[in-house]
């Protein structure tokens, strides 16, 4: 079965650079979530999109932005990278059916900021 | 506000022992969902179980079982006859009921690192 695809899987950037992470949800899933997991931490919700509109916002820095495109894939854009942005970034997708909310997680993108 | 507490930071057991991972949650919602995820050393998040707030039946899946006690706001996870492959970080998570937008994020606990010693 198709799963959530994230690219790239690994990314190394310098401080103050920009990075773009991509997420391709499971086919027919209309909801995408982004989570950030720092070293030794639990995943923290950043932002979500439902039907290409921003649905909810968590602890996402102003330096980050995201969007969901017409084909439902999503991109997380990160600018002015800081050392503290080094983390595992997960994308998850779900189908926004009432009463069912299983989020399927992608394998994550490991971002290292040097 | 939603909150998930996993008081056990790290647990070590010898293979074949049973182990219970605790999870206590807080929410003001009457409808909510509880989850357990496994994160092995490779880093991916593996979904284990989802339980809605109206279903307090305990569940068993092979060596895994879950005890949902609404009265104590707990959703504990037991692994029987543990194996080395069970070594991972386990996260308990909470989600509100779906709203009109159809999207609800997960609130994770801080995780419990389980080490099963051969």
Mean pLDDT to the nearest integer, B32-61: 90
**Rounded Cα distance, A30 and A14, in Å:** 33
pLDDT surpassing 80 at residue B58: yes
**Rounded Cα distance, B99 and A83, in Å:** 36
Residues of A in contact with B47 (CB under 8 A): 102-105
Mean confidence (pLDDT) of chain B: 91
Instruction: Report residue B44 as tokens.
Output: 């991916």
Q: Supply the DSSP symbol for B101.
A: T
Tokens 């606990």 found at: B109
**Rounded Cα distance, A79 and A15, in Å:** 9
Give which of B104, B109, B111 to mutate to test A binding, by max A Cβ within 10 Å. B104
Check CB contact under 8 Å for B102 and A108: no
Note whether B69 and B56 are within 8 A (CB).
yes
pLDDT surpassing 80 at residue B21: yes
**Rounded Cα distance, A71 and A73, in Å:** 6
Runs of H (alpha helix) within B25-70: none
List the single range of A9-18, B18-27, B50-59 with lowest mean pLDDT. B50-59
pLDDT surpassing 70 at residue A13: yes
pLDDT at B102: 54
**B102 or B14, which is more confident:** B14
A47: exposed, middle or buried (C-beta count within 10 Å: 0-12, 13-18, 19+)? buried
Check CB contact under 8 Å for A58 and B105: yes
Check CB contact under 8 Å for B45 and A98: no
Instruction: Report residue A71 as tokens.
Output: 């084909």
**Rounded Cα distance, B8 and A107, in Å:** 26
pLDDT surpassing 90 at residue A6: yes
Asked if A97 is an interface residue toward chain B (Cβ–Cβ < 8 A), one would say: yes
């Amino acid at each position: 079965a198709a799963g959530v695809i994230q690219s790239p899987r690994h990314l190394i950037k310098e401080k103050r650079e920009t990075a773009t992470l991509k997420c391709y949800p499971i086919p027919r899933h209309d909801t995408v979530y982004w989570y950030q997991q720092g070293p030794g931490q639990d995943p923290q919700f950043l932002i979500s999109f439902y039907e290409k509109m921003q649905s909810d916002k968590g602890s996402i820095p102003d330096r980050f932005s995201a969007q969901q495109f017409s084909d439902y894939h999503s991109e997380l854009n990160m600018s002015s990278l800081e050392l503290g942005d080094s983390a595992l970034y997960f994308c998850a997708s779900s189908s926004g059916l009432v009463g069912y909310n299983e989020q399927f997680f992608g394998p994550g993108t490991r971002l290292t900021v040097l | 506000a939603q909150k998930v507490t996993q008081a056990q930071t790290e647990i070590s057991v010898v293979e074949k022992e049973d182990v219970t991972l605790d999870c206590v949650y807080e929410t003001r919602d009457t409808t909510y969902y509880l989850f357990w995820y496994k994160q092995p050393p490779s880093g991916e998040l593996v979904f284990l179980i989802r339980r809605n707030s109206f279903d307090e039946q305990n569940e068993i899946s092979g060596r895994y079982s879950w005890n949902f006690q609404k009265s104590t706001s707990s959703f504990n996870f037991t692994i029987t006859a543990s194996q080395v492959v069970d070594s991972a970080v386990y996260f308990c998570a909470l989600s509100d009921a779906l709203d009109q937008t159809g999207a609800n994020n997960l609130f994770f606990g801080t995780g419990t690192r389980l080490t099963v010693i051969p």
